[in-house]
Amino acid sequence: MRKVFHDPALQKQFDKDGYVSLPFISKEKVELLKQAFFDTLPKSGGQLGADDVKNGHTITYDFTFIDKNPEYKKLVFDIIVKQFEQEYNNVLADYKPIIANFIRKKTDGGEVPLHQNWAFVEETKYTSVSIWCPLVDSTIENGTLQVVPGSHKRFGLQRGPKVPWELEGIKNEIINDYLIPLETKAGDCVILDDSIIHYTAINKTPGLRLTIQLILIPADTYSLHYDLKSSNDGEVSVLEVDHDFYMKFNPWMQPSNVKTIRKEKFEFKPMSTSQFEARLKEPKIDETTGLFAKIKKLFLTEA
Ligand SMILES: O=C(O)CCC(=O)C(=O)O
């Protein structure tokens, strides 16, 4: 498995839990980025809303990614990468950024439903990460990040905007019984495996709750995107995409002009809570494939 961190201690903790928390940017950068969020807002094209998306569901979250103006998305990406670059190069083992978000929760709003981030790389060999860095102290009251520790690389391996999620039916049970909140000071960060199960609640405070998410992939691999045309197809397309694709793309759009790497069989198998519980204790997908797993298996058989 390709490593994520320079530091073996961070790598070990990340392999076990699916995330690590650490100090990240200076107070000056926190202020600069907060200012940049408000300064650039006039260039925003507005968020996609219920009228723009097919199923008409209300969108409860406010992410740069679903802004209508690709130029604004690019601007935000450049600003965030410029401020984060030195810090992530110090910590991550040769990673490149592909998507950047400001995420804002206004008072009494901003819930981000329980989810795993999309798959961005071949996850049996590589790991994509999100650097989640709040620009104000992030607390349980204002809707901090909550994760299911150890849930990375175990669930929903074919993840994309239109692919149904095997845990959809047990979301409430997971929210009630398995999450732990990661209260995080402004400028500190959580680096998470994009396959970890996570959630953020509404902001119950009068104050602003503003955070950054920067998604990065190993510099030596391509970025992929899982696309499902229709749920009765029985297969998903794995597309090769890049940073530029994501600047123009939104979750309700049909991808076009992109290379198909392969098609994979897709079977929707909703999980029960007991299956979920059992899967949490089983090996991760990167422990069950590849040479490393074969060697481990050999040792186990011979022991
Ligand atoms: O900060 C939030 O509210 C959502 C964060 C999130 O879902 C992510 O970074 O993937």
Q: Which domain holds residue 230?
A: 8-302
Residue 197: pLDDT over 90: yes
29 to each of 81, 133, 217, 221, 234, how far by Cα in Å? 12, 11, 23, 30, 47
pLDDT of residue 294: 54
* Domain-located, residue 1: no
297 in a structural domain = yes
| Per-residue pLDDT at 47 | 78
Of 37, 112, 120, the residue with max ligand 1 atoms within 8 A of its CB, to mutate for a pocket test, comes to 112
CA distance linking residue 97 with residue 251, whole number of Å: 19
Residue 132 DSSP SS3 = strand
296, pLDDT greater than 70: no
The residue-averaged pLDDT of 57-72 equals 84
pLDDT value of position 301 = 39
Is residue 3 in a domain?
A: no
Q: What is the pLDDT of residues 80-125, one digit of tens each?
A: 999 999 999 999 999 999 999 999 999 999 999 999 999 999 999 9
Helix or strand or coil: residue 93?
coil
Residue 193 lies in a domain: yes
Q: Which CATH number does the domain housing residue 159 bear?
A: 2.60.120.620
User: Residue 105 domain-assigned?
Assistant: yes
pLDDT in tens, 28-59: 999 999 999 999 999 998 877 656 665 656 67
The confidence score (pLDDT) of residue 72 equals 96
Residue 225 lies in a domain: yes
For the cut 50, the answer to whether the pLDDT of residue 302 exceeds it is no
pLDDT at 267: 92
**With 50 as the cut, is the pLDDT of residue 283 above it?**
yes
Pocket test for ligand 1, best of 19, 21, 24, 103 (most atoms within 8 A of CB): 103
Helical pair 27-40 and 70-91, crossing angle rounded to 10 deg: 170
Q: What share of the chain has pLDDT > 90, as a percent?
A: 81
Check whether 254 has a pLDDT greater than 90: no
CA of 232 to the centre of ligand 1 (A): 30
Domain count, the chain: 1
> How far, in Å, CA of 132 to CA of 101, rounded?
10
pLDDT at 289: 61
Give whichever of 56-70, 207-221, 243-257 has the largest mean pLDDT: 207-221
Beta bridge partners of residue 100, listed in sequence order: 214
How much is the pLDDT for 159? 97
Question: Does ligand 1 come within 6 angstroms of the Cβ of 128?
Answer: no
pLDDT at 164 over 50: yes
The per-residue DSSP string of 26-87 comes to -HHHHHHHHHHHHHHGGG---B--TTTSTT-PPP---BGGGBS-HHHHHHHHHHHHHHHHHH
The model carries a pTM of 0.92
2 in a structural domain: no
User: Is 247 a member of any domain?
Assistant: yes
Least confident of 35-39, 138-142, 254-258: 254-258
CB contact at 8 A, 64 and 72: yes
pLDDT of residue 250: 83
Give the Cα-Cα-Cα angle 158, 288, 240 (nearest 5 degrees). Answer: 35
Contacts 24+ apart (CB under 8 A), 93-96: 93/2, 93/3, 93/4, 93/5, 93/6, 93/218, 94/218, 94/219, 94/220, 95/4, 95/129, 95/216, 95/217, 95/218, 95/219, 96/216, 96/217, 96/218, 96/219
Residue 300: is its pLDDT beyond 60? no
Atom of ligand 1 nearest to the CA of 61: 3
Question: Separation of 80 CA from ligand 1 center, angstroms?
Answer: 16
Which run of H or of E encompasses 296? helix 290-302
Torsion of CA 286, 228, 250, 209, to 10 degrees: -50
Q: Please, which pLDDT band fits residue 231 given cuts at 50, 70 and 90?
A: low
